[in-house]
C-alpha cells in the first residue's frame, strides 16, 4: 500500500510517499481502508520533532481515520467487513496511508449524515473537546480560546449543546463563523485583552498556551476551572487541570449521535490529497486555519 513516511524530523519536505505492507490486525484490532484522515496540531509537531511521542523516524502520522472495515482482527465482534467507521489511531503506523489498524474500542460507526471527509475531521478534535467539557453544565459561562480552530470550533458547539453561555477568542475575520456555531460573545484578541474585559468565568478551555493559562486564572471564579490542553508547565493552582485526549469508541458513538442530530458540524476548510500532505502541513502550521484540514488517500 501507499503511505506517507519520514526518515528524519524536519520541515514538511521530510514527508514522502513510500510503499509499505498492508498491516495485519492483531486480536482486538480492526484493519480499516482509509477514506479520509485529518491534520492535527500534534502531527506537525511530531513531524518537526517538537514532540517525540512516536520515537525516532521512520513513522507514519495520522491520528484520525474515517473509512471502511477491511478485516476485523481475531475476537472483534462489534465490526464486520464493509462497516463504515471512524475513530482514533495510536502508534507509529498512522492513518496517512491506504490502510490502517486501529483498536476496535477506539472506533465507532461513522456518523450517518457525514461524508468520510467530514467524519475524519472529528475524532481527535471532538474527543478532546468532549472530554474537556464533560463536567460543563447548563447556564455556566465558558471562555474558549482559539475557538476558530480544529478543537475550538467543536468545543463551541459542544458547549452550546450543553446549554452553556459561550465566550470565544478569535480574530474578527472568524466572528461571523463562530456566531453561526452559537458563540454568544466574541473577543478579538488582537485588539482586546480577554483578561481586561472578563471576570467570574466558570470554565476556561485553553488551546493557545503561553501566557494564556496564567491570565485565564485571573478571569475565573474562585470555584472555576481552567482546562489546559496546550500549556507545557502545569500551574500550581487548585483550579488548574491539564487535559489530554483519550481515544474512546464509546465517546465517539455519542459524538456521532450529536452530529447526526445536526448539533455538531465539523468545518472542513480544505481537503488535500495525501500526495499534497506537505502543503497541508504548511497551512496547518500557520496557526490560521479555520476548522480542520482533511487528507484523502491516493485512490479515494
CB-nearer residue toward ligand NAP: 6 or 124:
124
Within 10 angstroms of residue 24's Cβ, the number of other Cβ atoms is 10
For helices 41-48 and 277-285, the axis angle rounded to 10 degrees is 100
Q: Which of 6, 66, 93, 174 binds ligand NAP (CB under 6 A)?
A: 174
CB 72 within 8 A of CB 272: no
CB-nearer residue toward ligand NAP: 16 or 276:
276
Q: Applying CB under 6 A, what is the total number of residues that bind ligand NAP?
A: 30
CB-nearer residue toward ligand NAP: 25 or 249:
249
93 counts as binding ligand NAP under rule CB under 6 A: no
CB 9 within 8 A of CB 48: yes
243 counts as binding ligand NAP under rule CB under 6 A: yes
Place of cell 472530554: 131
Q: Could you give the string, one character per residue 128-167, with x where binding to ligand NAP holds by CB under 6 A and - elsewhere?
A: x----------------xx-xxxxx---------------
How, if at all, do strands 84-88 and 107-109 pair? antiparallel
Q: Which of 14, 189, 195, 239 binds ligand NAP (CB under 6 A)?
A: 189
| Cis geometry, peptide bond prior to residue 58 (ω within 30 degrees of 0) | yes
Q: Which of 244, 250, 262, 299 binds ligand NAP (CB under 6 A)?
A: 244
What is the C-alpha to C-alpha distance for residues 298 and 300, in angstroms, rounded to an integer? 6
CB-nearer residue toward ligand NAP: 116 or 145:
145
Which residue's beta carbon is nearest to the bound ligand NAP?
149
CB-nearer residue toward ligand NAP: 69 or 118:
118
Q: Which of 121, 207, 226, 267 binds ligand NAP (CB under 6 A)?
A: 207
Cα-trace Rg, the chain: 19
Q: Which of 216, 230, 248, 267 binds ligand NAP (CB under 6 A)?
A: 230
Place of cell 465490526: 79
Within 10 angstroms of residue 17's Cβ, the number of other Cβ atoms is 13
For 165, residues 6+ apart whose C-beta sits below 8 A from its C-beta are: 139, 140, 141, 142, 184, 185
CB 208 within 8 A of CB 230: yes
CB-nearer residue toward ligand NAP: 43 or 71:
43
How, if at all, do strands 29-38 and 64-72 pair? antiparallel
CB-nearer residue toward ligand NAP: 50 or 261:
50
42 counts as binding ligand NAP under rule CB under 6 A: yes
Give me the residues that bind ligand NAP (CB under 6 A), please: 40-42, 124-125, 128, 145-146, 148-152, 169-171, 174, 189, 207-208, 229-230, 243-245, 284, 287-290
Amino acid at each position: 500500500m501507499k503511505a506517507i513516511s519520514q526518515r528524519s524530523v524536519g520541515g514538511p519536505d521530510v514527508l514522502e510517499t513510500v510503499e509499505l505492507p498492508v498491516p495485519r490486525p492483531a486480536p482486538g484490532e480492526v484493519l480499516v481502508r482509509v477514506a479520509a484522515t485529518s491534520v492535527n496540531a500534534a502531527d506537525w509537531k511530531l513531524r518537526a520533532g517538537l514532540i517525540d511521542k512516536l520515537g525516532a523516524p521512520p513513522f507514519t502520522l495520522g491520528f484520525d481515520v474515517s473509512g471502511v472495515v477491511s478485516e476485523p482482527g481475531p475476537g472483534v465482534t462489534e465490526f464486520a467487513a464493509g462497516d463504515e467507521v471512524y475513530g482514533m489511531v495510536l502508534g507509529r503506523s498512522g492513518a496517512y496511508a491506504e490502510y490502517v489498524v486501529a483498536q476496535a474500542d477506539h472506533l465507532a460507526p461513522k456518523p450517518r449524515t457525514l461524508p468520510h471527509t467530514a467524519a475524519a475531521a472529528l475524532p481527535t478534535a471532538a474527543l478532546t473537546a468532549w472530554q474537556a467539557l464533560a463536567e460543563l453544565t447548563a447556564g455556566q459561562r465558558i471562555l474558549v480560546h482559539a475557538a476558530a480552530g480544529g478543537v475550538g470550533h467543536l468545543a463551541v458547539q459542544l458547549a452550546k449543546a450543553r446549554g452553556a453561555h459561550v465566550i470565544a477568542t478569535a480574530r474578527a475575520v472568524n466572528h461571523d463563523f463562530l456566531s453561526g456555531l452559537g458563540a454568544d460573545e466574541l473577543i478579538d484578541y488582537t485588539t482586546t485583552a480577554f483578561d481586561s474585559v472578563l471576570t467570574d468565568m466558570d470554565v476556561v478551555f485553553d488551546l493557545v498556551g503561553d501566557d494564556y493559562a496564567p491570565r485565564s486564572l485571573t478571569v475565573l471564579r474562585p470555584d472555576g476551572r481552567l482546562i489546559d490542553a496546550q500549556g507545557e508547565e502545569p500551574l500550581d493552582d487548585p483550579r488548574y487541570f491539564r487535559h489530554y485526549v483519550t481515544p474512546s469508541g464509546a465517546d465517539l458513538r455519542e459524538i456521532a449521535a450529536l452530529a447526526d442530530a445536526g448539533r455538531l458540524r465539523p468545518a472542513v476548510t480544505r481537503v488535500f490529497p495525501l500526495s499534497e500532505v506537505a502543503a497541508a502541513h504548511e497551512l496547518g502550521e500557520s496557526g490560521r486555519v479555520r476548522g480542520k484540514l482533511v487528507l484523502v488517500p491516493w485512490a479515494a
